[in-house]
Structure 1
Amino acid sequence: MVTRRDLIAGAAAFSGSAAAGFLAVGRRVKARAADPQEVIARPIAEGVKAVTFDLAERPTALPCFDGKTLPLWTFESGTTFPIVRMKLGERFDTVFKNNLPMAGEVASIHWHGLRIPNDQDGVPYMTQQPIAVGSEGRYSFVPPDTGSFFFHTHCNSTEHFGRGLIGVLIVEGDEISPPDDEVVLLMKDWRIGPDGAFLPFTTDEGAAKGGTPGTVRSVNGERSPVITVPSSADIRIRFYNLDPMRISEIGFENAGAAIIAVDGNGIPPMPFESWRMGTGMRLDVLLRTAAPGESVKLFDYFSKEPYVLAEFKSEGPPKRTGPFEPTPLKVMPFAKLDETSAQRMPFEFSATPTGASIAAAGTVSDIQIGPLCLSKRTFWAINKQAWPGHDHKDLGPPFAVLKSGNSYIFELKNTTPRSHPIHIHGHTFEVLSSSLRHHPRVRCDTVLLLPNERIEVGLVAGEPGKWMFHCHILEHQEAGMMGYIEVV
């Protein structure tokens, strides 16, 4: 008998399929009737959330390292991946010290998915001067949206991600009915050799293909963790793909589950389908847990064999006895896209001749990072332009100049045989259409562009400034598939 697991595995193997990426894997979900109007999220607190980070090397032995200790780079002592929680309406004040161990290792912090003032976006050489080793930087802003966000440095990103320099920022205030529990899942691979030491974080061959893969998989620093949850309960799962390159297709089997947010943006509860996720993407899911003593497994189907990412083991008396009826989240009052007047802008994502030749030859060597946090080779391009366009001494012109408040439709066309998760800083956008698959109309800040796919996304230009626009496979970003748009 062919199971749903078999169907998903087949879809993962055939990534060009129009159906790939959105196949049902759970029990049917009865969605609660929507109110006549969406519930708008309003500030629930005021004041200041103050955080201090100390970027430094800290030898760490995670469970997935099998007893080995590796020189991780982290934001604070005692925590591999810090999770900062704040409430909508609070100001976020951050002080960070750059105590990274390598001379010349500049740093800045980018707040992925947040629509904040441009000078707080944390892009070195563009929105700020980077912070040198031994120096201190500051950020202060009020997050305008609820949701599941994260933060990371934006220079030499492949190595920084590879060593674990990532953190989570959750802005609360979107729940109409609180769940029985919440679990944050952070998926990230590690490149570890047979000797237990880090392998090179990047290679020419990987950068010219789909990225240099890790050798050890983990979720929250463990291999397939078993997480204890209340029985027959509705729990909120915030799932983050924080790997430098891995693309996954996640899904449950034999469980009631609904997607309630994409990239932190609330949507009407949608019966959980397998969801194709590139790096930088997040998914909020409401899961009805199993009966006492039983468990539910979360799979990654985008592999040769389905891989168990995490197992949720139920303990204690049942929390709920009625049918699974997920409640929608509150939503933010985003500016409405005017599709009739929106200006269309084409963006083609392609390989350079150098990248195509290296991918074909299978040449392997280390990439050296240049003074603008980029490879000295360019393998990828947007609109035939490999960032920074001509040399590493200036930014070059923007891909487009947008007027704040106006509507635009970006036509994203992938002419390569690789997938690219495309991220735009400082904005969210609506996915309007795909040439290969039925993609739900959701709001996000990172969209996965499949090989030879054309996706249309609509956005309303936001805060003035220069905003990065790039593939979030970090080696692709550093090897040319990056640029910026300017909002005036």
Structure 2
Amino acid sequence: MISRRTLLLAGAAAGASAFAPTALSREPVSRDTLPPDAPVRRLTLSAGEMEAALLGPGKPQTHGFCAYNGTPFLTVRAPRGTRLLVDFENRLPDLTTVHWHGIRVPNFSDGVSPLTQAAIPPGGRFAYNVPLPDPGLYFFHPHCDETGQVGRGLAGLLIVDDPAEARLGFDLEHIIVVKDWRLDAAGRWLPMTSDEGASTAGTFGTVRATNGQPVPPRVEAPAHGDVRLRVLVADSTRVIDLGCDTDDAALIAVDGQACTPMALSALPDEIWRMGPAMRADLHVRMPGPGQELKIYDYRTSEPYLLTTLVAVDRGRRSTAFKPKALPPAKVPLPDMKRPTRFDFLVQTAAGATAIAPPLPADDPLAQALIESACVGSKTFWAVNRNSWGAGADLRLPPPLQRLEDGRSYVLSISNVTKHPHPMHLHGHVFRVLSSSRKTGIPPYLADTVMTEPNETVEIAFRATSGNWVFHCHILEHMDTGLMGWFRVT
């Protein structure tokens, strides 16, 4: 019999529009998002350990830092409409996978064990078919032992360029990666998780960093020029309030998706709140020669400086600030005339439970087990009283809902806990419709949405075939139960 992997790789190489492995014929068809003749770029990718100076120059090196291709925060860029065929090798001493966060991939390339693939053992390989139908800032990271591997640096950036954006004429693009480190004074790793952290707001880093370093970068830009800031929260836990010390700043994209430009000064508290895995693009106008523009996280008692932009005289004249609008996103949008509605509670759990209707006994996933190395040792969280496997209970829970390919759905997500939860839906871009606490923000597209304590958020999306997880991206929360999945057939 042809193996499932061989069949999938053959389909990926051919750029097929749908994949239906005969060995798992009960599984949903895995749909592609690019035509068969899309241009192909091959990428060789590996995950491994290295040394890194995370405490700064002249300080002790940190061993066991995790990186792709030996490069901290490896950045991959490709034009919109490209298909990445990725040959991945696991050079870590532990199981891993690769999840392409925010990318509308065929389900078998989503990187979630045991739903879409088996976890990749040390020395193992896997081929991913990663179509890039949408421009924007995305990233990739493991979906097994995320708390440990992402905590030690394993994350890469994926920027999908739209040629139409060149006409906007930004003078500079600057990337800000927010990622803290759990290190002692000698640069040694501290435990990435604790019961106290996993059951509350998370276990925070001891060293704050921007782009991997404890000293915030200083970047030169033309005075009176236009700068595009692309911000990613790659941290396992931290929620930030992104803002800057100028009124000439606007939010122009969320999670890679273009939005109607929104002046930061017009947003609640003049900030954009972001949790782990969330991204934002800002357009900021530089001040006059010799002046500085500072980008902050305002969520801490003392604003934390993320980056300083230094205005350099290039002969520009001051003009009125007008935010640049990115080309509109072209993702499948929900039909709001006839959506099906579901309510979901994000809640604490008394223990491992799963009350959704079970899968049929002959379903390929009915007896699937979760790798213990991929999850936490205890259960603290649940979605509608359903918890992902953890500890000694490693059964794959039944799906939260069974959805239909092509139909539109509205999810009402109510956070009834004392802590924020950035909720991420794999394989889809959704429209954030409303919030019970945040007013004045028009609907926008995203793949991860912040839910505050005692807040209800509504999102809408058009379902695409596959088995897709829905989880909190505070990684300890996910590892201790706050994840479920939808089956779309």
**TM-score, normalised with respect to structure 1:** 0.84
Distance 1:255 1:437, change over 3 A: closer
Matched, 1:253 2:253: no
Equivalent-residue separation in structure 2 for 1:164 and 1:426 (angstroms)? 24
C-alpha offsets along residues 415-463 of structure 1, whole Å, 9 cap, x if unaligned? 100000000000111111111121431110000000011111111112x
C-alpha offsets along residues 223-264 of structure 1, whole Å, 9 cap, x if unaligned? 222122222111111000110000010101124111110000
1:264: which partner in 2? 256
Equivalent-residue separation in structure 2 for 1:217 and 1:324 (angstroms)? 32
Distance 1:145 1:188, change over 3 A: same
Does the 8 Å contact 1:109/1:122 carry over to 2? yes
1:427: which partner in 2? 428
Does the 8 Å contact 2:54/2:212 carry over to 1? yes
- Which residue among 103, 111, 114 is the counterpart of 1:122? 111
Matched, 1:214 2:215: no
Matched, 1:200 2:191: yes
2:42: which partner in 1? 50
Does the 8 Å contact 1:370/1:376 carry over to 2? no
2:174: which partner in 1? 183
Equivalent-residue separation in structure 1 for 2:320 and 2:41 (angstroms)? 38
Provide the secondary structure at the position in 1 that maps to 2:148.
helix
Equivalent-residue separation in structure 2 for 1:131 and 1:389 (angstroms)? 19
Which residues of 2 match residues 357-376 of structure 1 at below 5 A? 371=372, 373-376=374-377
C-alpha offsets along residues 354-391 of structure 1, whole Å, 9 cap, x if unaligned? 69xxxxxxxxxxxxx96261112100001011113996
Distance 1:395 1:320, change over 3 A: farther
2:259 alignment partner AA:
I
Equivalent-residue separation in structure 2 for 1:386 and 1:424 (angstroms)? 16
1:328 alignment partner AA:
A
Does the 8 Å contact 1:291/1:318 carry over to 2? no
Deviation at residue 54 of structure 1 after TM alignment: 2.2
Matched, 1:230 2:215: no
Deviation at residue 473 of structure 1 after TM alignment: 0.2
Equivalent-residue separation in structure 1 for 2:317 and 2:406 (angstroms)? 45
Query: Superposition RMSD on alpha carbons, in Å?
Result: 2.1
1:126 alignment partner AA:
L
Q: How many residues align?
A: 428
1:414: which partner in 2? 415
1:166: which partner in 2? 155
Deviation at residue 85 of structure 1 after TM alignment: 0.4
C-alpha offsets along residues 288-322 of structure 1, whole Å, 9 cap, x if unaligned? 11222111001111111111111111223144532
Tell me the percent identity: 38
- Which residue among 339, 342, 345 is the counterpart of 2:339? 342
**TM-score, normalised with respect to structure 2:** 0.84
Equivalent-residue separation in structure 1 for 2:462 and 2:379 (angstroms)? 31
Deviation at residue 398 of structure 1 after TM alignment: 0.6
Deviation at residue 323 of structure 1 after TM alignment: 1.6
Which runs of no fewer than 5 residues in structure 2 stay unpaired? 1-33, 265-269, 353-369
2:235: which partner in 1? 243
Does the 8 Å contact 1:372/1:392 carry over to 2? no
Which residues of 2 match residues 151-162 of structure 1 at below 5 A? 151-162=140-151
Equivalent-residue separation in structure 2 for 1:169 and 1:119 (angstroms)? 19
Provide the secondary structure at the position in 2 that maps to 1:206.
helix
Q: Which has the higher contact order (CA 8 A, sep 6+)?
A: 1
